Each structure stands twice: as C-alpha cells, then as structure tokens.
Structure 1
Amino acid sequence: MLWNRPYHRLILNGLLASFLATSAIPSIVFAQSSTRPVTRPVESDTQQMKMDRAETQQVPGASGDKDSQPDGLVPSGGVELYRRMGAALPPAPAEKPYNGPVDEAYGAYQRGLFVTALDKALTRAGEGDAAAQTLVAEMMTKGQGVKRDAKTAAFWYQKGAAGGDPAAMFQYAMLLMAGRDMPRDKKQADDYMRKAAEAGNSSAQFNWAQILVSDNPGERGLRLALPYYEKAAVQGVADAQYAVAQLYVALKDLPAAKKAEARSWLERAAKAGFDTAQLDMGVWLVNGVGGNQDYDKGFEWMRVAALRGNVVAQNKLSHLYIDALGTRPNPVEAAKWYVLSRRAGLQDAALEDFYLGINEETQKKAIDAANKFRRGAILVAPQPGQSLQ
C-alpha cells in the first residue's frame, strides 16, 4: 500500500559530505569554493515565491526567451490551455478491466470517507490484515475519522510491520529510531528499515542507505549504500538522486556508463526542487563537472537556488554577476545577493571589497532590492559603506 504523505528524511550524513569534500570533484572557481552545504530541501508542498520577491524563476531547458517560465518547475499550463480551446481532443483510452480484490477500506479512505474507512479497516485489522493495520495506524496518526492517538497508532504500525507491510515497517522503524511512544531500539529499527527497503519502499531505501553510511565510515559505507540510493532515486526520491549524482562522480572504479549519468541524476534532483542540487547544478555547469561547461545554464540554476533561499547560491550568484558569467555584469544585482548572503552570516572578503568599492547610490539600490526580496521584513538598512549586519 502506498501512502500519500511526505517521507521522513534523515539529513544527508556528515560522513557523506566530508568524503565528497575530499574527493576528486573539482571545486568551483568562486569564493567559498570549499563549502559543500547540505541544506534542508524544499518540500514539494512549499508555497511558491510571490512575485514581489522575484520576477521569474529561470530553469535550464526552458524554450525561447530566458525570462520564459520553465517546464517542470513553475506550472505554465495556461498558454497550452488557451491554444487548445475549441480543439477536439482524442478520446480517452479505454480502461483495462480489473478483476483483482477490491480494498473497500482504502477506497473509502481515498474518497475522504474516513469514518467508513476506519470501520472497515478495523474489522480487517483485527483479523490480522497487515495493510488494514497500517491504514488504521495512519488514520490514528493523522486524526482522520478518530481522535489522534499516537500510542495506539504505534501499536498498529507494529502489527502491520510484523505482518510484512512495507509502509508499516518503515513507519515503525522511524518510531523505534526516535524512541517515540516506545523505547528506542536501534537494532530493531535497523532491521525493519532494511526489510522495508528490500521490500521496495523508496523512503526506507533512502534511509537505509543513510544508516549504512553512518555505520560504515569511509568509502566502504558509501559503496554499500549506493545500490539503495540508486533504487530510491529511480522511484523519484530527490535526496537519493542527489546522492547518486555525487557518488557517481566521487567514487573510483565505477562503470563509465554510470559516471556519464551523474549530471542527469543531479538535474532530476534539481528539477524536483532540492535547492542544494540546484546549487550544485550551477556549480557543475560553470566548472564543467560531469559534462561540458555551460555558463548560461549554470547561471540560471544558480539563480533558481538563490531565489529558493540557498545562502551559498546567493553568494556565488553575486560572483557570476561581477564576472559576467552567463549574464551581463550588474553591480546592483551583485551587491544585492551579497547583502543577502552576508546578512545570513556567509563571509566573503572578495565580495566585501567589491561592495565597499561601488558608489553609495549603487549600494543603496542593492540594499533596497535585498529588503524587497525579504518580502517587507522589518529591516534597518545600513548607510552606504557601513556594516551589513
């Protein structure tokens, strides 16, 4: 049974980050080149930025003018809908007949009939149906059709996990790992996480890979984890796609075919909204990692990550504007992005020299633009030439 809920992420392990930092991946030509941040990825349900923060969001692959909206990141169905108004659409394909068992409890759940779903699921759960036990646990966790009851939900997750349901095994492993509503038990948590991963649960595959990296320091752990990262990546887990891209470049003795796919996996993670992948996509394109250099697309991806709030991307975007890489030189934009990254605590002596070297009018425009980007936050803008803190 598949659940329509965000999977629990384990933050990309420091061991993975440290290994990649010392690997043969070329460093970016900008300042702060040794920084390899692992920032919180943007969730799929995050609200889009308002227009007063940015005029457009540019993504490589968009057709036409650079200011056009890209496919895959910002919905642009309006134009296509307008073009197709009045046009006859082809008939929908006939549905294939289904003769398998009907899950009435889950069907009611999907239609939002939670009381009915819970009633039907509880009957089957009491008879030992693992999928029904997992559905009951899910509804009790969310308070759907019943008052929220975390402890009873944990009981049903345990039953579903023992019955072999992959979703229950994953959720129960997370509960055991956190020690929430039950004693913490790493050994049992690892066992269920591994079983869920081997049963095909994509979230478990990613998290089991993380556990392998954590428990097996160095390159050995990364090689053990790679097959699980790959499986999760194929199923669309952006964090796993990012990890696969990094490991394909960093690990030695991998088949050439895999190394050739590194940039493709990174791009998939970037298009999924993972801001660190968007940052690295910009870095790779500018430096020619995993393929040819492309300053224009590198700039576009760096700008996307900066608009998403990635501080390192904001810093590097400032350098791109100064050096006119993929864009025309723009001192106001360069100073704006420096102001934003500096306020977030990212030091950069070269950008500080640049900022202090521009005239007061340009500094004021940059500060005004940075304040506007912050969407009207109450900020006391410093006088030109003063500290940005």
Structure 2
Amino acid sequence: MIGLVRPPTRLVLAVCAFGLAFDLAGLPALAQTAPTPGEARDDGPTLPIPELRTGDGALGAPEAAARDVPPSDVAYAAFQRGYYLTALDLAKPLANLGDPAAQTLLGEIYERGLAVPQNPEEAARWYKSAAEAGFPEAQFRYALMLLEGIAVTRDAEKAREMMKKAAEAGLPMAEFNYAQLLVEASPASGFQEAVSYFRSAAEAGIADAQYALAQLYSVGQGVEKDEVEARRWLRSAALARFDIAEIEYGIWLINGRGGPARMDEGFRFLLRAARKGNAIAANRVAHLFKDGLGTTPDVAEAAKWAIIAKRIGNSDPVLDDFFRGLDPDQQKAALEAANRFRPS
C-alpha cells in the first residue's frame, strides 16, 4: 500500500513508498573526526509548517453575520471550537442544498465520529457529492477512501483522478499523495513528473514531502543530485519533527554532508529522536556520548542509551563490548537509568 498522508486531524506520517526510503539500520555511520566543511553553503531558512485550512477561523455566529461570512464558514467556526453537534446542525441544511464546503464538513464529522457514531458510509456519501462538485478537500478525502476501499468499492483509477484534481487545485497533501501515485504507477519515469508536486507540497510545509524531496536530491532521482539542497530539505523535515529526518539530518550535520559539520546540533537532533524511543537514534546517541562527539563524553549516558537501543531492537557489538568493559557499579547504574526511561 502506498504511504498516504491524511489531513492533520488524523495525520499518518508516511515515508515515501517509492523505494528510496532508507533502511534505518543502514543509515550512514557517524564520523569519528570533524570533516572539513569545504565550499558548501550553509543551510537556508526553515519553511513554515502550516496546517491544512479547514475553515476561516473560530468566528462566532454574530461576528460572522456582521462580516458577511458564508454560512458554511459559520459551521466551520463551530467545528473548530469543538461544538460538533452545532456544526452538524448548521451544516446539514446547507449540505442538502448542495453547499460542497458544508458537505465536506459533514463528511469529516461522520468519518471521525465527532459527537455522533462513526459512519464511514455517510462520510463517503457527502465526500463524493462535494468531490463531484469540484471541492478540492473533498476530492482528496474521497480519493483516500477509494484507494483504501473504505465504505466504498476500491477504485484506484477514480482515486487517482480525484487526487489529481485536488493536487492541481493546490491542496498540499493531495500534491504529495498524487506524486506518490505517479511514482507507483511508473517507477521508471514517474519521478520527473512527480518532482513538481513533491516540491509544491514541501514548500507548503508538508514534512513528508520535504523528506521525499531531500531523498530525491540526495540520490539524483528526477532532479540533478545536490546534497546541499537535500540537506536544506532534510532540515525542514527535521524541524517539523519528522522522526527519520531528525535522525538522518543529525548524521549529516555530524558528518558534514551537504554543508558544514555541526556536531553539537547534530547531537541535539539525534537525542530528540532517541527520546521518542527510536532505536537507531538511541544507538547513535550512545556512540556520541561514548566518543564525545557533539557532546561531552559521558560513560553513564553512553551505557544507558546502549541498553535502551538494544532493548528496542538495535544490537551493536561495539556497544556491547563497551558495556562489558564497565565496572559492576557502572553497569548497575546504567541498567537502573535505562529502566527509568520512558519515550516522550
């Protein structure tokens, strides 16, 4: 199944499913000495990470009326403030009159089961109606249902058509998903057509697309290879807390790949991912503490993270030997510290 990205309300972070995603166990090793930065330029500014628009803000009904806000936006305002039954009551008559924004809102309420029982069939009915009326967000959501066969008969061709329409209307998550559909349909040639959609979604702040674009630039797939540009997009995805990007960007910073080496900053990105319970990041952090790269050498922390990494699936003979070389009191303290660890 292709790695789909859904709306922010129930976002499923997805590594691109087109065969470029790194095997985490095979991420590059950490450099043992600081590399020479060379002539690579520094990282650019971070792009903003906006949420997908689902309404015009939390306007109350009186304010909305005073500003001539469309009735469907009043329903959205209630929805955004958590008044789901009020939103439902406001949207239903509008939806029955053919308002696609209200129909899409009803679809989301029924799909997520907000103040009403979940009803994917009813959600699909409203999404379909709004999608056929040309409403991009409904096209996107209905396309997801068609791709997955949720409450509707699976129809990949129709899903692709709907996703394309939503993407061409400029909906960022539709752009990212449509790019993946292009690559899935044509692994040999789909990248070149997909790049513009990945880029547009990345520029809109979709972390999955930022990471995808970084991968494309890092290997020269669909674009000219450019590790400086790859690092720039990795940074954006990492700052958006995309786990794999945090790990990879941290390693690029330490190794000086695509730009100047910044070991202390690389350490911070890896530590952040490790604290979430990522086994690869925990392994790398153990090495950094052990070798004093990007941080002050700390035997106790190195031993703790070595244990954590091993427990969550990343065995490492080097770290095993390191742990065995500690005295019994150090081993005991590390085990106790690892036992207290809880992913955050």
- TM-score normalised per structure 1: 0.70
Are 1:177 and 2:121 matched, yes or no? no
Instruction: Write the mapping of 1:186-205 to structure 2, written as runs, cut at 5 A.
Output: 186-205=156-175
Structure 2 distance, partners of 1:133, 1:354, is 61
Task: Give the AA of the match of 1:120.
Answer: L
Structure-2 change in CA distance of 1:200 and 1:133 (3 Å): same
The DSSP-based 3-state class of the residue aligned with 2:128 is helix
What residue in structure 2 maps to residue 167 of structure 1? Answer: 137
Instruction: Write the mapping of 1:1-389 to structure 2, written as runs, cut at 5 A.
Output: 5-13=9-17, 15-17=19-21, 27-29=28-30, 101=70, 103-144=73-114, 146-218=116-188, 220-251=189-220, 254=223, 260-374=228-342
Q: Is the 8 A contact 2:216 2:223 kept in 1?
A: no
Structure 1 distance, partners of 2:13, 2:276, is 19
What residue in structure 2 maps to residue 77 of structure 1? Answer: none
Structure 1 distance, partners of 2:127, 2:144, is 10
What residue in structure 2 maps to residue 86 of structure 1? Answer: none
Q: Is the 8 A contact 1:7 1:203 kept in 2?
A: no
Structure 1 distance, partners of 2:149, 2:91, is 27
The DSSP-based 3-state class of the residue aligned with 1:16 is coil
Structure 2 distance, partners of 1:293, 1:30, is 10
The DSSP-based 3-state class of the residue aligned with 1:15 is coil
> 5+ unaligned residues in a row in structure 2: which ranges?
1-6, 33-42, 49-65
- TM-score normalised per structure 2: 0.79
Structure-2 change in CA distance of 1:9 and 1:224 (3 Å): farther
Q: Deviations over 1:262-309 (max 9, x none)?
A: 323222211211121111111001111110112121112111111121
The DSSP-based 3-state class of the residue aligned with 1:227 is helix
User: Counting helix residues as a fraction of each chain, which structure ranks higher?
Assistant: 2
Query: How many residue pairs get matched?
Result: 305
Aligned-residue offset at 1:149 = 2.1
Q: Is the 8 A contact 2:137 2:171 kept in 1?
A: yes
Aligned-residue offset at 1:360 = 1.6
Structure-2 change in CA distance of 1:260 and 1:242 (3 Å): same
> 5+ unaligned residues in a row in structure 1: which ranges?
32-60, 62-71, 73-96, 376-389
Structure-2 change in CA distance of 1:316 and 1:4 (3 Å): closer
Q: Identity percentage over the alignment? A: 42
